[in-house]
Amino acid sequence: MSSTPAAVPPEGLALGAPLSEHRGKTVRLVVTTLLWIPFGLVGLGFAIAPLYLLIAQGSVPWPSVVLGLPVGLVVLAGTVGLVKENIENIGRRVLVLTGGLTDLRGGKVTTCHWEDIEEIRQEIVTRTGPLFSHTKHNYRVRVRGGTEHVFTHRLTGIEALRDALVERTYDRLLGKALEDIRQSGVAKFGALEVSQTGIIKRGEKLAWPEVKSIGVTALGQLAVRRQGSLINWHVEQASEVPNAHILIALVERIPRLGGLA
């Protein structure tokens, strides 16, 4: 859950009063970083073993190159990426204010006005094992000018932060999508488009009477189902769909109201 906001940095004072604060999960991030470092060292060992054998013996056994090198590089790259993300979020503070967000990370402060947000993308990662099932939510926010802010499960109260993002931008983003339909005939959401008469995918239209359902699955996929069909008419990762929540709102709104009103 989000914590009580602390002092607002000078850069965020123009954004109004603080509403909530979301901090990096420092203890967990430090622990997971320490646990992953040995895996990175193992990966490094596998990756440099062929070079060591070449210098020491003058030849390299083919299993070391075919198996050891790729496995080592994959493990090493994965560990470096995870450790980098953890370190970047240690000590991080994201403040939700009445006028926008302030993000304090690594000694750098960035601000974001609500009206500057153009896209919100959600990523749902579910990992299931014999004794556990764990779901993580990450969000990417693109603002005017192309700058992207990333908020992940490494922050406390990530769902509350997501709710704030949606609540503060929903009316404006929905209004823009409706205006796009009025002006140009369609509102675009990546590979999908929405018109007054249905959903369009690469020129193929699914008319409103044919749409059975649309939503984001537990696996983080945006799925559109056709009436009378057992398979999805369209499915892709929700993280690839900008403003998927606005797309879903349009699909539910336009047929119900019989238009854009």
pLDDT tens for 225-234 read 999 998 999 9
Strand extents, DSSP E, 98-255: 100-105, 108-113, 117-128, 133-143, 148-151, 187-189, 192-194, 198-201, 204-207, 211-216, 221-226, 232-237
Mean pLDDT of 195-202: 93
- CATH T-level assignment (fold) for domain 1-24+92-179: PH-domain like (2.30.29)
Rounded to an integer, the average pLDDT of 70-89 is 86
SS3 category, 18? strand
Q: How sure is the predictor about 127, in pLDDT bands with cuts at 50, 70 and 90?
A: low
CA 139 – CA 261 distance, rounded (Å):
30
Please state, in angstroms and as integers, the Cα–Cα distance from residue 117 to each residue in 17, 101, 141, 250, following that order.
Answer: 19, 10, 7, 19
- 196 by Cβ neighbours in 10 Å (0-12 / 13-18 / 19+) ranks as middle
Q: What is the mean pLDDT of residues 85-104?
A: 91
Counting beta carbons within 10 angstroms of the beta carbon of residue 24, is it exposed (0 to 12), middle (13 to 18) or buried (19 or more)?
A: buried
